[in-house]
């Protein structure tokens, strides 16, 4: 797909996913890091819990299908070698650090430069510190997650970093198309803050556009009755089961009732109850809440006796809305992902480890693991010999001086 495209990635945590996506699509991606190793090599978790430059599972997961080179860009020789390398590439992916001495370095006119920054360089937060926690909080999505009476929920993965990396890959391809059309290089900036905000589906900016202020949704209440729960404990975790007493959802709620009747958790006469009319009367304190209490109690007890997968299967048979709350172990074992070949086995540090094999599956293009994530400086000699014309003696001198 991108077989004739060459990408140089100045490795930072914010650039790793962008380079990997382009590599997955067939581009020849070279990730450049300092001789001491990129910051991504120090991201947990580690193989066997043992930190090491070759042991980061995050590094291995986000750097497949790349070659690796080391250059000390804080030295004149390192910058000079970078300038010799740049003409060989179509796309340059940069992180917040960017190019060293960017105004002085010679950049080819046809190069597509895509830089990922924490906040917009021209915005009011340009000089903010940029931890993942700050970026995610500034994006607003955590304020929409969790129970209304508790603190916001943050994500267990670096969401802002990943969103920005994916956006950078898309933008780089767009820049490449524009260059091929107009013949001019492109300069692109991706703000991780903006990427994280877009992940909230625009709800966080609705108020600025005349819409209502986005808030976390409270559980459904009916009159003075306790809230109707949305999550139910199972024998192996939790599942979300939807009980909504609105005209558009009553068919789904009847599916829950039918399941509970089949399980013997509710008497058959509950199939004849008009819960829409009942809840309407309950809202006016004009009916007996016992049938609703029976329904919620039966659902609570039945879920407690079932596994998450059994509840999901029941929802398909009886046509109601339910979903397991999946842990990472659940995702790894999910049959759907297994059948679609989502994981590949790699030998990492002498251990066989399953890693994600692709970010998407096409009908006419196969994404596979062509290369494992590069070891530190694995391809430095190969690339510098090919693009800078360096021989064995020169490479040894550069290594001894800490340039590569």
The pLDDT tens digits of the residues spanning 281-335 come to 988 889 899 999 999 999 999 999 999 999 999 999 999 999 999 988 898 888 8
Spell out the domain ranges in the chain.
6-209+336-400, 231-326
Give the pLDDT confidence score for residue 202 in this predicted structure. Answer: 64
Question: Torsion angle, CA of 259/265/269/274, rounded to 10 degrees?
Answer: -60
**Is the model more confident about 215 or about 326?**
326
The model's pTM is 0.85
Contact 47, 348 (CB under 8 A): yes
Radius of gyration of the chain (CA): 27
- φ, ψ of residue 281 to 5 degrees: the values are -70, -35
Measured distance CA(325)–CA(308) in Å, rounded:
8
What CA–CA distances, in Å, run from 372 to 6, 55, 71, 260? 18, 13, 21, 49
Region 179-184: mean pLDDT is 92
Measured distance CA(299)–CA(71) in Å, rounded:
61
Give the pLDDT confidence score for residue 38 in this predicted structure. Answer: 97
Give the pLDDT confidence score for residue 144 in this predicted structure. Answer: 79
Give the pLDDT confidence score for residue 224 in this predicted structure. Answer: 66
Measured distance CA(327)–CA(333) in Å, rounded:
10
Give the pLDDT confidence score for residue 147 in this predicted structure. Answer: 79
Q: Is the pLDDT of residue 177 over 90?
A: yes
What percentage of the chain exceeds 90 in pLDDT? 62
Region 213-229: mean pLDDT is 72
Give the pLDDT confidence score for residue 252 in this predicted structure. Answer: 95
Helices 132-139 & 159-182, crossing angle to 10 degrees? Answer: 80
**pLDDT band of 223, cuts 50, 70, 90:** low
Contact 89, 8 (CB under 8 A): yes
Q: Is the pLDDT of residue 216 over 80?
A: no
**Is the model more confident about 15 or about 137?**
15
Of 232-246, 271-285, 334-348, the least confident: 334-348
Q: Is the pLDDT of residue 222 over 80?
A: no
Q: 49-82, pLDDT tens digit by residue?
A: 999 999 999 999 999 999 999 999 999 999 999 9
- φ, ψ of residue 72 to 5 degrees: the values are -85, 95
Region 130-159: mean pLDDT is 84
Q: Is the pLDDT of residue 111 over 80?
A: yes
**Is the model more confident about 126 or about 71?**
71
- If you classify domain 6-209+336-400 with CATH, what class do you get? alpha beta
């Amino acid at each position: 797909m991108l077989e004739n495209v060459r990408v140089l990635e100045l490795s930072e945590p914010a650039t790793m996913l962008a380079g990997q996506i382009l590599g997955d699509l067939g581009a020849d991606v070279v990730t450049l890091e300092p001789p001491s190793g990129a910051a991504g090599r120090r991201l947990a978790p580690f193989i066997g819990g043992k930190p090491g430059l070759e042991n980061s599972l995050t590094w291995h997961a986000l750097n497949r299908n790349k070659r690796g080179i080391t250059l000390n860009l804080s030295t004149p020789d390192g910058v000079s070698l970078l300038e010799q390398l740049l003409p060989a590439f179509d796309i340059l992916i940069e992180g917040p650090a960017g190019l060293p001495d960017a105004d002085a370095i010679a950049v080819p006119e046809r190069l597509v430069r895509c830089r990922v920054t924490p906040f917009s360089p021209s915005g009011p937060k340009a000089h903010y510190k940029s931890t993942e926690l700050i970026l995610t909080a500034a994006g607003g999505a955590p304020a929409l997650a969790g129970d209304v009476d508790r603190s916001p929920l943050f994500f267990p993965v670096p969401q802002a970093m990943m969103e920005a990396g994916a956006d950078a890959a898309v933008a780089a391809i767009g820049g490449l198309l524009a260059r091929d059309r107009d013949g001019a290089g492109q300069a692109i900036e991706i703000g991780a803050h903006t990427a994280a905000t877009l992940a909230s589906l625009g709800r966080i900016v609705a108020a600025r556009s005349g819409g209502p202020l986005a808030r976390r949704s409270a559980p459904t209440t009916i009159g003075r009755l306790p809230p109707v729960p949305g999550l139910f404990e199972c024998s192996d975790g939790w599942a979300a089961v939807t009980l909504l007493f609105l005209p558009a959802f009553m068919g789904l709620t009847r599916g829950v009732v039918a399941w509970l009747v089949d399980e013997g958790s509710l008497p058959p006469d509950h199939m004849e109850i008009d819960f829409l009319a009942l809840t309407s009367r309950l809202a006016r304190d004009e009916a007996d809440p016992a049938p609703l209490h029976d329904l919620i109690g039966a659902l609570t007890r039945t879920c407690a006796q079932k596994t998450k997968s059994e509840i999901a299967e029941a929802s398909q048979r009886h046509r109601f809305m339910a979903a397991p709350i999946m842990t990472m172990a659940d995702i790894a074992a999910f049959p759907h992902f297994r059948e679609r070949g989502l994981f590949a086995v790699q030998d990492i540090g002498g251990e066989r480890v399953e890693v994600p094999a692709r970010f998407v599956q096409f009908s006419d293009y196969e994404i596979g693991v062509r290369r494992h994530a590069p070891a530190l400086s694995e391809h430095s000699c190969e690339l510098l010999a090919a693009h800078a014309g360096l021989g064995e003696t020169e490479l040894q001198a550069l290594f001894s001086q800490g340039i590569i």
